[in-house]
Amino acid sequence: MASDKKKSTANNHKNKKKTFWQSLKRILLIIFISQLLYIILLKWFFPPVTFTQLNSLLSGEGLYRDYVRMDDIDRDMRLAVISSEDQLFPDHNGFDWKSIKKAMEYNQRKPGRVRGASTLSQQTAKNVFLWQGRSWMRKGLEVYFTAMIELIWGKERILEMYLNIAEMGEGIYGVEAASQTYYGKSAATLSRKEAAQIAACLPNPKKYKVKPVSKYVAARSRWVIRQMNNLETDPDVQRLIR
């Protein structure tokens, strides 16, 4: 009798353990399928809200955005973002390994300062799917989502998404909202100088003001325009901004 009870207890324990792992597998499978479907849907649709936008709204910064298609964004704005943030965007697979290596070496030498090396693809993956922060978990997820959008969306959709969800001022998301706020016009009619000024604030849009123009934005926008002049004849760049 005692032996039977022990066997029964052991079997119950095994069954509970088996049920737990089966449930966990089902939950993980559902999560994986759900996020994959969401990535696929966003190839054609814009996200209803992102973690960054939600945090901006809840923190009192507000949320001003206006999603627009690529045809409604001036070609100079597309070129300005590539010139400012990721000049190798048309060529890499989502990651600029040389810049990542340099950033890691710099951060090891100067641990008190942090230098980033995120491509437009990485920034888009972070802004659409993840929260702000520097944890290893978030970085790992960023690598995954970057690879997925490169595979599923392609470069033109990544650029279009970035131009619509990147923060371009306190509580201001996307080029249409930025253009209306700073210049009172649509993103389709931005001048080269205006596009460069918006792109110049992207490293830290809360700190570097477009209106009134901060010294940093004024200086960096001139540099952005020089880079635009250099890059606009590149065939790979032209395919993205045409």
Q: What pLDDT, in 10s, does the model give residues 123-163? A: 999 999 998 888 888 899 999 999 999 999 999 999 999 99
- Do 160 and 201 lie in a common domain? yes
For residue 3, is it within any domain? no
193 has pLDDT over 50: yes
For residue 193, is it within any domain? yes
> Whole domain around residue 22: which residue ranges?
13-42
- Residue among 101, 102, 97, 152 at smallest CA distance from 128: 152
Check the CA dihedral 149-151-155-160 and report its sign.
Answer: negative
Structure tokens at 110: 């100067």
For residue 90, is it within any domain? yes
Report the pLDDT value the prediction gives residue 242, as an integer from 0 to 100: 85
102 has pLDDT over 80: no
For residue 4, is it within any domain? no
- Do 132 and 18 lie in a common domain? no
- Do 49 and 20 lie in a common domain? no
Report the pLDDT value the prediction gives residue 123, as an integer from 0 to 100: 96
Question: Looking at the 3D structure of the chain, how many domains does it have?
Answer: 2
- Do 57 and 102 lie in a common domain? yes
User: In Å, what is the CA distance from 36 to each residue of 30, 32, 144, 189, 192?
Assistant: 10, 6, 11, 36, 37
Burial code (b: 16+ CB inside 10 Å, e: under 16) for 36-68 equals: eeebeebeeebbeebbbbeebeeeebebbbbbb
Q: Which amino acid is at 187?
A: A
Q: pTM score, two decimals?
A: 0.87
- Do 124 and 217 lie in a common domain? yes
Check the CA dihedral 84-90-95-99 and report its sign.
Answer: negative
- Do 134 and 36 lie in a common domain? no
Alpha-carbon gap, residue 165 to 157, rounded angstroms: 12
For residue 190, is it within any domain? yes
- Do 110 and 227 lie in a common domain? yes
Q: How confident is the model at residue 20 (pLDDT cuts 50, 70, 90)?
A: confident
Report the pLDDT value the prediction gives residue 240, as an integer from 0 to 100: 92
For residue 76, is it within any domain? yes
118 has pLDDT over 70: yes
